Structure 1
Amino acid sequence: MKRASRKIDKQAADSTPAGAECSAESAFTSYAAPLVDEAIEHAHAVSEDTSPEALHKLRISLRRLRSLWWAFEPLLDKGGNTRQRELYKYLATAAGKTRDWDILIELVAQDERVAHEMAPKLEEARGSALATSRETLSNADVKHLLQDALASASQELNTADERVPLQKFVDRRVAASERSLNKRIKRASRAKRPNYTALHDVRKAGKKVRYLLEFFEPVLSGSHKRVLKRLKQIQKRFGTLNDIVASEMLLHGNMGLLAGSGDIDAVLLWLRKERKRRMRAAAGLLRKL
């Protein structure tokens, strides 16, 4: 199918969020189109804006798209849905590689002496990563990739033989995401020692639940405000842990590139201590949930 024939018309893209009385199939575009437009806008901004915020916004918008496609997974072709979610992950990773350098620079900046010594090479590495991120996103043609994905999924859902009530559908999908989160919380909290992989799995599952609640809260049965508040606590504490771990891994993976730029061993020692401290704090929060 030609690209032009698969575009969603302006009226569909500007549709307002669906009510609970709609079918899940007919409501999909009202949820997906604004997210696609937002991701395209942020991808365009990255081509002109070198700030950390531009990349951060693009990565979040792609993660939200990935979560929405997960939510509608039961109604979409399984293979196509998996490939689309992997594409969103790939694009988010492309943006994230530069964002990881931004986070490391922010952490190192807490020590003025070390920051002064390392800043030139950190900024150089960040610039190289940004160039790669931009090239990857440009070559991917994000705008048309996302528009095609929206058109394809919308057509598939709009031509489906069966219809599922929206409220019933989103209640089931949010419940499934919450079960997955609770399973990961139990696994992480039962570990004898704080386990980063298990904690990271909690963070990812929590993000998915949070995004789904933000998407569907107006049509969900019952109130989910307490759950959303708890998730924000998890994300904040687990997010700081992830920043430390990502920075530690980035330094380890670029020792040669940063050689001679300062006392890297001292930075790694500080990051290791921070990782252990923040892992204990994250595990402690889980025990309170």
Structure 2
Amino acid sequence: MGIEIEDKFDVPPDYAIPDLSRVAEVIGPKSFQLVALYYDTADLRLAARGVTLRRRRGGDDAGWHLKLPKAKGVRQEITRPLTRSTKIVPEELAELVRAYTRGAPLVPVAELDTRRSVTVLLDDGVKLVEVADDRVKGTVFGAEPTVVRWREVEAELLAPDRQAVLAKVGKRLRKAGATPSAATSKLAKLLEPTPLPKAPTEPGTAGEIVVAYLAGQVNALLAQDPRVRRAEDDAVHQMRVAARRMRSALKAFKSVVADTAQVQDELRWLGNVLGEARDLEVIRARFAKELARLEPELVHGPIQARLGKDLHEREQEAYGRIKETLSGERYYILLNALDQLVSHPKLAKAAAKPAQEKLSTIAAAGWNRVTKAYETAQAIEDPERREIAMHDVRKAAKRARYTAEALQPTLGANMGKLAKLSENVQEILGTHQDGVVAQETLAKEAESARQAGEDTFTYGVLIGIERSAAERAYAEFPRVWAETVGAVMKVL
């Protein structure tokens, strides 16, 4: 697996590659033939999202290649060895594109036969940039196959810390007559997939801003799907955040985009599935850090194994449930609903209003919801019930934060300040809540240890540490709240 950073250029048939020896040492050109068979659904769902899946023969990297979009000009590439079959896609790669195929079968859709001439730029033996001059014959399969021929040039960065060299190469190629390609890949140029539909919103309106934000979060969720399936670092957390941000936005902007209750419910369901593994991962790391800080004489019994191995096993079981969920019909239905939401949203009257006017009001309403939750909690006399009600303050602060972050590009720096202030409230209440949850987890693990005849002394030590941290955060909150309220008055 690697990150692919490259620039693509369209060139005429008689284009001449310029002299690149002034940029760096040049090796080549070296020529060879590449034949790539591309796979997609019959309605080209992968191509529409900028995803390519191919089986390629020839060259130095023959095999299966899956390229997933990450950012403009940057794609994640996953490779697997060449297999004999041209009909069956390796199961691991097929799984990684299920967020796009959603149960539809993968079939060969096109073939690219490329005569490639490669020049490599080096510095002291280190490969910096590869320039590929490609003469392409593309065939689109169908009842009547279509053949298209063209020429293009690709400049791919091989040394991630030498992007300046890639820029210099691109400048020379353009000066010689190359033009940046609008196509993200050869396949996209060949197939010309139907663009994803866009919502009929008016420029400068609240509807345009809100739908664009939602579309960005849908893309963020889809981008994390393959990473979650591969159990990559922080992927579950990022996917969960995208689901939470969407759900929060749909609540905050219900006067702009209407009738989203069912989508919100399904986003909550997905967030809960993702949250089980994420919460176990976080709390396992938390306990490991606390145990490492204790003096050896305070660590009794097999507590490290119980809080490490046992929690890790539960975490892996939760990951299994995530993978099962991500390959299920309910998840595919949610993804279809999200696509429908950002392409054909049910826009309310407020969607047609100027963005500045309407969204400023929504941002203020988000913070007012935090203050009302706080006042409600403080009016409760029973300490335990009041503590529970403060959890609603935390949730309101998180929603206000997400709303402000969504509006910062439109409404400016004040939204960034409001987001940070809301986050301060969220974090200190979160510190308290995390301490409470950690105590509950430790108490359950201690009971299991007790029943197994193990020494539970260290569980008590850890519970004391967690209780102290939770109480400190709770005691500090009034000061943080007073400072935050004062700062928010200057922002809104």
Q: TM-score, normalised by structure 2?
A: 0.49
| Structure 1 stretches lacking a partner, 5+ long | none
Rounded Cα–Cα distance in structure 2 between residues aligned with 1:222 and 1:127: 41
Displacement, 1:256? 7.8
| Structure 2 equivalent of residue 228 of structure 1 | 419
Moved more, 236-245 or 203-212: 236-245
The amino acid across from 1:35 in the alignment is Q
1:127-206 → structure 2 map (5 Å cutoff): 127-140=316-329, 142=331, 145-152=334-341, 154-157=343-346, 163-189=352-378, 193=383, 195-206=386-397
Query: Is the contact between residue 59 and residue 95 of structure 1 (CA under 8 Å) also seen in structure 2?
Result: yes
1:248-259 → structure 2 map (5 Å cutoff): 248-250=439-441
Rounded Cα–Cα distance in structure 2 between residues aligned with 1:99 and 1:188: 29
Query: Is the contact between residue 29 and residue 150 of structure 1 (CA under 8 Å) also seen in structure 2?
Result: no
Distance verdict in 2 for CA 1:11–1:152, change over 3 Å: closer
Moved more, 212-221 or 196-205: 212-221
| Structure 2 equivalent of residue 267 of structure 1 | 459
1:32-47 → structure 2 map (5 Å cutoff): 32-47=214-229
Displacement, 1:131? 1.1
Distance verdict in 2 for CA 1:37–1:116, change over 3 Å: same
Identity %: 22
Larger radius of gyration: 2
Residue 264 of structure 2: which of 75, 80, 85 is its match? Answer: 85
Rounded Cα–Cα distance in structure 1 between residues aligned with 2:306 and 2:411: 53
| Higher relative contact order structure (alpha carbons within 8 Å, sequence separation ≥ 6) | 1
| Structure 2 stretches lacking a partner, 5+ long | 1-42, 50-193, 293-298, 483-492
RMSD of aligned Cα (Å):
3.5
| Structure 1 equivalent of residue 126 of structure 2 | none
| Structure 1 equivalent of residue 406 of structure 2 | 215
Q: Alpha-carbon deviations, 1:118-142, whole Å to 9, x = none?
A: 4222221221122122212332564
| Structure 2 equivalent of residue 63 of structure 1 | 244
| Structure 1 equivalent of residue 278 of structure 2 | 99
Query: Is the contact between residue 221 and residue 242 of structure 2 (CA under 8 Å) also seen in structure 1?
Result: yes
Residue 25 of structure 1: which of 193, 196, 207 is its match? Answer: 207
Q: Alpha-carbon deviations, 1:152-172, whole Å to 9, x = none?
A: 354234697972222222112
Query: Is the contact between residue 206 and residue 231 of structure 1 (CA under 8 Å) also seen in structure 2?
Result: yes
The amino acid across from 2:357 in the alignment is K
The count of aligned residue pairs is: 277
Displacement, 1:39? 0.8
Query: Is the contact between residue 277 and residue 315 of structure 2 (CA under 8 Å) also seen in structure 1?
Result: yes
SS at structure 2 position matched to 1:57: helix
Higher helix share: 1
Query: Is the contact between residue 207 and residue 235 of structure 1 (CA under 8 Å) also seen in structure 2?
Result: yes
Rounded Cα–Cα distance in structure 2 between residues aligned with 1:32 and 1:147: 14
Q: TM-score, normalised by structure 1?
A: 0.79
Q: Alpha-carbon deviations, 1:13-49, whole Å to 9, x = none?
A: 6x9xx99x61222333311111101011212211111
Distance verdict in 2 for CA 1:41–1:211, change over 3 Å: same
Distance verdict in 2 for CA 1:279–1:203, change over 3 Å: farther
